[in-house]
Structure formats: structure tokens, C-alpha cells
Amino acid sequence: MKRYITAILLSGIVALDSCSVLNPNVTEPGFLANPNAASSWVTGLRRQLALTMNQVVVSSELVSDNYYNNRTLSSKVFDIPQIDFIDLDVNNMQVHVQRLREMSEYGLEKVLPADPAATAADSAEVYFSCAFAHILSGELFVGLPGSNTGPVLSPDEHLRIAISQLDKAIALTKNITETGAYTLLKARAYYAMGDAVNAARFATAALSNNSLLRQVKYDGVNNVPNDMQTYIFSSTNNEFAPLPRLDFLDPKYFHTGLAANDQKPVTIVKAEEAWLILAETLIAAGKLTEGRNTLKELLALVSSRPVVMVDDKKETRNGGNRKDYPLTAVKVMFDATDSLRSNYVLDRQAGNVKVYTVSGTLVTVNDLDAAITEDQLLYILYRLRQEIFMAEGRRMTDLGIRFPVSQTEQLNNPNVKSEHIKAQLPSFIPLNRGMDDFTYDKANGVVTMKYDMNAVLVKNKHAKEIFPFIN
């Protein structure tokens, strides 16, 4: 019997030894205690910025008149536009904006102090990330908590925080390009707040570098693909289609070879914006000639940006919800009152098409010269903004549309009030997918947009949601 007892005890000891488990995950204390936490965290912030921009670009381009969803993948209602606080996509956008902010704050509070190898450049980038999260919060939402389940801050409050964080970043960085980018972001924040003086001041400062370009990189191999690129080019079925009058600007992002290895960057800061801000301050102030000249400088810059020729023969706009997208080089009318225009819709089967990787526009110097009144210049300015920022997630803000605080936040954050859970949708925004609607007269080869939203904007220029320098 002793044998059995011994065997049982031995097996018991073996069993006890098996009580430990191998946790494959890195715990928080383990991360902070090991060297070079700061550089990993800063890279993490860059990655998060890319993910945030994915969400911002895809959602806001659909909401705007730029693109519509031609299939069922991705949001099925933003095109209407219908922006419910219960919508998962509405939640996702703030999840990513908030994550960028929280990660920056965690970086400042925990990671940077714990890592002796952290540099001033690391700190600058963390401040910049935080500032950018606040800029997006201020531009895209009716209001958004500014801290972990904290009070809902107004857009202006977010923008002011952004400006102060950018100042800290500027103080820390020694990189001139970065300084320029941060300065232009300050101009963008002031622009959004309607502060023309400061906006002009920092836009001018940023123009010391007329080729300024700050982009967010993607990494298809590591599961950070450029989602907009997927939807407009890389996916087997192209889900998104541009409004036909913007067809010539599509695709901004594309791949050659293997999609995973070629994910194009998304621009978040470029010198064009400085010219646009300057021009708008001038036009709003009644200085139309200076404004027009500024826009001419802008056109010169745009034409200096790189252009590549891309094979886009596999583009089929008609796989999904609309089956009447023009596939040949037809003429367009911006709305029913417009005259016929050429070169806006491309025949992609005719050969490689021109792709504007940074900025592109069909606005010409002649168009500018023909614009006499403030409204005409404002119209061209907003058309330029639309074309230059195509697929960069900026158009929705120009249209005065803002996302609400999501239901998930509301249910877990008592600071969220009923006024925060309603989207801002200006009354002049047509519903029922009107912004994306067009008719195609196949016989005569003419595509007519239902609405020219730039004209609608100018017509409603005193609406409080738009034109920050006028209202």
C-alpha cells in the first residue's frame, strides 16, 4: 500500500508544480520596467494616429459629398447622411480619437518619466499627438470628453488645449519641418475657432516652407492598412465611388505590386492649407484681390506637387448600389444650372490615369480671374479646399457637419448631456443621399450632379455651422 500512497503523493506534487501558467502577454509594470519604453510608445502613437486617420477619413468622406458607399461593407447610412449616436461607426471614430489622446497622456504621465532614454523629440511628438487628437475633437464633434470619462469639452476648448500642446511641442523639437507642421496646425486650430488674426499669423509663419508636407504612414503587412486606399482601390470590389465631378481625383491612394506592401500615406499637414487659410482670412476681410492672388500662389504650389500615372482599368463603379456611374470620359454639370465641363470623368480603360498623390485641382488661374465677387471667390476657395483635401477627411467639417458623442460614452459617462448626443447637421444639407446623387444622360454623355455643395455653402454662408471667419 505504501507504494500507492507514494505514487499518489508524487503525482500530487507534480500537479502542484503545474499550478503556474505561462502568460504570453506583457503586463503594464513589465513594460514600464524594461528599457526603451518611450520609443515603443512613440511608435505606438504614430500607429494610433494612422488608425485614427483611417476612421476619420473613411467616415467623414462618406458623410460628405466626396464619396459614397457603393456596396454594403462599411457604413450604410453615412451617405444619407444619417449620424446616430448609437451607430457603431460613430462610436469607433471617437474611440480612435480618444485613444490617441489617452495614449499621449499616458505617454506623458507614465512612459516618458519611466524611461531615462526618452528624448526631447519623443516628448515633442507625444505633445503633438495629444494636440492632434484635440484638433480632431474640436473639428469633428459637437463636443467630446477631454479626459477619461471627464466633462464634455466644447470644440473651442479642445482647440485651445491643442494650441497649448503644440506650443510645448514646438518648444521641444529641433526639427524645422516639424516646427513648420506644428505651426500650421496652430493656424488650423485658430481657423476652426474663427480667429482670423492668429490663423493668418501662423499660416504665414508656416509658409516659410512652401513644400511643407506631413503625412501619416501605413503598414499593410502589420495590419495597419490605409482603409481609404482599400475602399477606393485595393479591394477586389471597390466599395467607394467619388461624386462624378470629383472622379478625376480618384484614386488618391493606390498600390502597385502587392497591396500589403504598398500602403500610401495620408496627408495631415501640407503647405496648401496655409494658402487656403490666408486666402480665406483675406476674402472674409473684403481684401478680394489679395485673396485672389493668394489662391494663385496656391495653384502654383498644387501644380508643383507630384503626379503619377496609374493603371486603374479594373475600376468598376457599377458593382454595387448604383449601376449608372459613367465609365467613359463624359461631360459633367456641377448642378442642373451649370454649363458642360470636360475632363472631370476619366475613361480608365483608355490608358493610365493621372493620380494626384498630394494635391490636385481643375481650378485654373482663369477661373480665379473670372471670380469677381466675394461669393464667387468663396465658391472657388471651397471648391479648392474640396479638391485639394480630397480623401483626407476634411470636407465634412467644411460642410458644417459634426458627430455626436456616442451612446457607449453616454451610458458610461454621466457628464454627457442630451445636447451632446445629437449630430450637427446644418439645415441646408440635403438628405436622402442627395449630396452624392447625380443623373447620367447616357445618350448625350452628360452627368449632372443633383447639388453643387460649394454653391449651397456660399448661398448659406451666414449659417453658423460654416465659414468660421464670416460667422
Strand-pair partners of 49: none
Binder to other proteins among 116, 306, 411, 418 (CB under 8 A)?
411
Strands 353-356 and 307-310: antiparallel
CA distance linking residue 307 with residue 322, whole number of Å:
29
Q: Site map for other proteins, 307-336, x if CB under 8 A?
A: -------x-x--xxx---------------
Which of 237, 289, 342, 343 lies at the binding interface for other proteins (CB under 8 A)? 237
Instruction: Please select the residue that binds other proteins; options are 117, 120, 171, 258, rule is CB under 8 A.
Output: 258
Grouping H, G, I as helix, E, B as strand and the rest as coil, residue 371 is: coil
The piece of 36-44, 283-291, 357-365, 440-448 that touches other proteins (CB under 8 A) is 36-44
Count how many residues are written for the chain. Answer: 471
Instruction: Please give the C-alpha separations between residue 359 and each of 102, 185, 351, in angstroms, as whole numbers.
Output: 32, 18, 21
392 in Cβ contact with 57 (< 8 Å) = yes
- Binding to other proteins by residue 26, rule CB under 8 A? yes
According to CB under 8 A, which one of 175, 208, 261, 349 is a site residue for other proteins? 261
The CA distance from 381 to 294, in Å, is 10
Chain residues 155-194 in contact with other proteins, contact rule CB under 8 A: none
**Does residue 40 bind other proteins (CB under 8 A)?**
yes
Which of 161, 170, 224, 371 forms a contact with other proteins (CB under 8 A)?
Answer: 224
5 contributes a contact to other proteins by CB under 8 A: yes
Query: Judged by CB under 8 A, does residue 349 bind other proteins?
Result: no
| Site membership for other proteins, residue 102 (CB under 8 A) | yes
- Residue 22 lies near other proteins (rule: CB under 8 A): yes
CA distance 434 to 356: 27
Number of residues that bind other proteins (CB under 8 A): 87
Cα radius of gyration rounded to whole Å, the chain: 25
Nearer to other proteins (CB atom), residue 261 or residue 471? 261
Dihedral sign of CA atoms 156, 161, 166, 168 in order:
positive
| x/- letters, 105..144, toward other proteins (CB under 8 A) | xx-------------------------------------x
- Letter string b/e over residues 128-149, b meaning 16 or more CB atoms within 10 A of that residue's CB: bbbbbbbbbbbbbbbbbbbeee
CB of residue 63 to other proteins, shortest distance in Å: 14
Which residues make Cβ contacts (< 8 Å) with residue 296, sequence separation at least 6?
A: 365, 368
